[in-house]
A and B are shown apart, each in its own frame.
With several copies, the nearest count.
Chain A
Amino acid sequence: MRAAFTEDQLTLAEAVRTALQAECNAEALRRAWTETHDFWPLLAEQGVLALSAPESLGGMGMGALDWVNVAVEAGKVALPAPLGEHLAIVELLAEAGHGELVEAMTTGEARVSAAFAGDAEKTYAVNHGRGEAVVVLGPAQATLVRQPVYTTQATADQSLQLASVDGDGESLDGDAARAFDRAVLANAAQLLGVAETILDLAVEYAKARRQFGKPIGSFQAVQHHLVDALLKRRFAAPVVHRAAHSLDTDDPRRSVHVSMAKIYAAEAAELACRKSLQVHGAIGYTFEYDLHLYMKRAWALSAAWGSVAWHRDRVAATVLGDSHG
């Protein structure tokens, strides 16, 4: 038992952090609203796109514990690209015999996103809606839509292009359930990241902003708001890490652990939004201040890949042996 990441894992995440923080700041997110500010070449160059692909196909064959913190870093900067989806599906596509496609994906030449096949009528794929294919992925099945018909759907989070997906799909012959769990984990990891940024902004603001002759961060109510958000964020992290471990070890309770990761990370991010906005006050409510860029991402991520309530049902079905919802 050693509940900590390896040096290699931390070094990888650190390298990605450095690259992302340099390129994907708030200014870049704002540019992404109007221009096509494309981070995919950067990710390819950093080797990030190859992380989870099999070595036989030019990938690095890394597991969830290796890339989970990369996804956290993507979340911190609200990376406007479906990196989590990419990391989740390459292995499935490889299993299903789409080796060439996977090779092209690891270099960034081919772009394949994924969409959650949940209870709703429509499925939405995040970003590069113009990608050549979409994997429609549920907890038990996966289909590959080769020539998807996209309908672009603008969202509150302007840097995140969403598209509803139509088109014929072929069933993918691989471990769909595992790929689904990877997608959920990547989503949870990004939520963890964005929660941290949202909270950091509030802490910095609380130190700087003065009212009643002192920094607002010295007021007990403000302090306790921020501590509550920190608490949720801190206790969510090990839950996300454990889910990565369970994916890599194929733990019999893998799906429970992944759903818990989503629940804890999403709740942490949502609480961070509430508390951070409240501590900021009016300034946090404006378009010119950066907070909303990250809040909107948090909300979008929370709604994607199954809501908290959906995942709670999934955990309950296994743990409590009931079949609610």
Chain B
Amino acid sequence: MDLTYTESEQAFREECRAWLEAHVPRTPLASHNTREGFAQHVAWEHELFDAGWAVVSWPKRFGGREATLIEWLIFEEEYYRAGAPARVTQNGIFLLGPTLFECGSEEQLERILRPMARADFLWAQAWSEPNSGSDLASVRSTARRVEGGWRLSGNKTWCSRGSFSDGIYGLFRTDPDSQRHRGLTYFMIHLDQPGITLRGVDDLDGEEAFAEVFLDDVFVPDADVIGEVNQGWRVAMATTSSERGLSLRSPGRFQATADRLLTLYAERGRPERLRDRVLQSWMDAEAYSLYTYQTVTRMREGGHIGADSSLNKIFWSEMDIATHETAMALLGESAWLAPDAPDATEGWLHDFLFSLAGPIYAGTNEIQRNIVAQRVLELPR
């Protein structure tokens, strides 16, 4: 157990920090859930990629710098500490990217990864259907075999920032006689194809954070199938245990939030009545970081995250809400002022609302608890 950083890790941190200090925009960008803000974020991603910071843990040939997982955690800590912009590439680089590394062909890696990482081509996930949320396997959208590819029809929803994206990825039923997990195939779909209709869906903030995508006989070439036909479920699941995946939510974000909370607490005169809640948030962010360093060490030494990622998700999502609730309590009535109100305080309201989505997206916490019960504790179904 050595919780101190090596010299090279320390050097990596300093390099990150110096670059971020020099380049992170001084004024916060507009929200990435708006068209204007999204464009600003895309420009930032270009800058990040061109300097080699977009995908630090990826191979150099795809724009990475082959950083270790520990270095990736360091990068994330510095990134959030610097208050750098939200990552509009995240559903590409943390979800589709890892899937391709696990199951993609060499041709796909070559063609897709760099544009994904540079935000030249933006990807949105398309897991849910109107009647398939928690029950991910109840996919109804279909794909029909045609010459050189497939014709896709159906309806996908809750595609984050789908309105501003170039492509989506998700599962379609390729075997019409199949049930549930079987007979599904993993497709990547370009949103400029004929047959696609998109409807923007606003979130609690009133911003177009989601899109619903309607597919009517949309052509997808064979080259955009990941893994084997009818093996889409296995492909999707392979991602969840990938060490590069979003399943390993980096602690940097939560530590930066906890630090902001401490500052807010001091600014508000350290109200005794909220002390224990502030303290708990700070300690939980530490605990989450320590837990993650242990997980990452295990993975570096050949282990897998597996169903543990569900424990992670429960922890960070509930911690994140508690932290933001405490911030709102510190702010009092002014917490609820809209961003354009004269007395508005920066950021907390938006972040509070976003934190509420944590126990819902990427598998509700109820589903995560089921997974932990059945796979970690090995309780019967």
Contacts and interface: CB of A to CB of B under 8 A. Distances in A.
B356 A207 contact: no
Interface in B154-207: 157-158, 201-206
Contacts of B270: 320-322
A286 B203 contact: yes
> Which of A277, A315, A320 counts the most B-chain CB atoms under 10 A from its CB?
A320
Interface string B319-346: 0010000001100111111101111100
Contacts, number: 254
Contacts of A22: none
A324 B275 contact: yes
Contact of A309 (B273, B337, B377): B273
B356 A285 contact: yes
Interface in B138-165: 138, 157-158
A227 B372 contact: yes
Nearest to B366: A221
B3 A320 contact: no
Nearest to B284: A235
Interface residues of A, number: 88
Contacts of A76: none
Interface residues of B, number: 88
B273 A325 contact: yes
A234 interface: yes
B275 A227 contact: no
B202 A303 contact: no
B115 interface: no
A178 interface: no
A223 B381 CA distance: 10
Interface in A238-279: 238-239, 241-242, 244-245, 249, 260, 263-264, 274, 277-278
Given A3-B293, A238-B287, A320-B270, A231 B314 contact: yes
Given A4-B1, A282-B133, A282-B360, A226 B283 contact: no
Interface of A: 1-6, 9, 65, 116, 118, 120, 122, 124, 151-158, 162, 164, 203, 206-207, 210-212, 214-224, 226-228, 230-231, 234-239, 241-242, 244-245, 249, 260, 263-264, 274, 277-278, 281-282, 285-288, 292, 296, 299-300, 303-304, 307-310, 312-313, 315-316, 319-322, 324-325
